[in-house]
Amino acid sequence: MYPVQVIASCQNQDTRPCVTHRLDMLEIALTLAIAFALGSFPTAYIAGRVLSGADIRDVGSGNPGALNTARSVGIGVGVAVLLIDAGKGILAVFIALHMSVADLWVYASALLVTLGHNFSPFTGFRGGKGAASVLGISAFMLWHITAITFAVGLVVYLVTRQAVVSMAVVFIVLNALTIATGQSTGQIVLCIILSLLVAGTHLLRERERVSSAVRERNWRRFMSIE
């Protein structure tokens, strides 16, 4: 029902259902706005500026995320950025659940907090790639699956020292386990969409280096692009 129809029906019927409907719409809008705002908080950028005076987007790999922060500013700071960015995902879903909105809007909040992280208006819409936020979301919704996935990803990274390889494995395992353990259709679809969003953001940001590596068939360089 569109807002105009709601107003028209309110003029001819008991207004209580209509008021409730409009309050529900306001609650949904507020939930989604909070999710995007949380995601937009530029953790790595602020950490870099405050602790080293550098723009994290201009050092290291140029990605304003936890891994580049760890390498460019310090491991402890990188871990803190990881936890805060994951916390943004957790908090967005937590708020959506406690606002008592339908599952669709909980999933939409998860998507928007990741979009806010990736395209933060506070950093010229050049944010991170969303991996930490997705980690937080999945940890809150499916902690046991996330724990297994994180352990596998950590082992792969320690063996290969390639962040892209380990993250690719993480998202493959995460999606596979979400499907294999019989999670709800909504959770499966959300997991796939978030995985594609992270991968798509990575390819979009690094398209020139990715294209160059593919043209030269330099797969080692391709997998090392962060």
pLDDT given for residue 188 in this prediction:
96
136 pLDDT more than 90? yes
Query: What percent of the chain clears pLDDT 70, i.e. is strictly above it?
Result: 87
The set of residues, in sequence order, having a beta carbon less than 8 Å from that of 7 and lying 6+ positions away, is 18
Can you tell me which residue has the tokens 């998507």? 111
Instruction: Write the burial class of residue 212 (CB in 10 Å: 0-12 exposed, 13-18 middle, 19+ buried).
Output: middle
Contacting residues for 50 by C-beta, under 8 A, at least 6 apart: none
Q: Which amino acid is at 191?
A: C
Per cent of the chain over pLDDT 90 is: 62
pLDDT for res 73: 92
- Residue 48 burial (CB count, 10 A): 25
Task: Name the residue among 159, 216, 33, 58 with its Cα closest to residue 108.
Answer: 33
Q: What is the pLDDT of residue 219?
A: 66
Q: What tokens appear for 192 in the block? A: 């796939």
What pLDDT, on a 0 to 100 scale, did the predictor assign at position 6? 34
- Residue pair 90/133 in contact (Cβ under 8 Å)? The answer is no
Q: Tell me the pLDDT tens digit for each residue of 145-199.
A: 999 999 999 999 899 888 888 889 999 999 999 999 999 999 999 999 999 999 9
Q: What is the pTM of this model?
A: 0.84
Going from the C-alpha of 12 to that of each of 9, 18, 126, the distances in angstroms are: 5, 11, 49
Report yes or no: 81 and 65 within 8 Å, Cβ to Cβ. Answer: yes
Average pLDDT for 124-146: 93
What's the distance, CA 219 to chain centroid? 27
pLDDT in tens, 193-216: 999 999 999 888 877 777 777 777
Average pLDDT estimate for 114-142: 94
- Total number of domains in the chain: 1
Element containing residue 18 per DSSP (H, E): helix 15-40
Tell me the average pLDDT of the chain.
87
pLDDT at res. 160:
87
What sign results for the dihedral spanned by CA atoms 169, 107, 121, 91? negative
Comparing 22 with 150, the larger pLDDT belongs to 150
5 has pLDDT over 50: no
Residue 21's domain spans which residues? 3-224
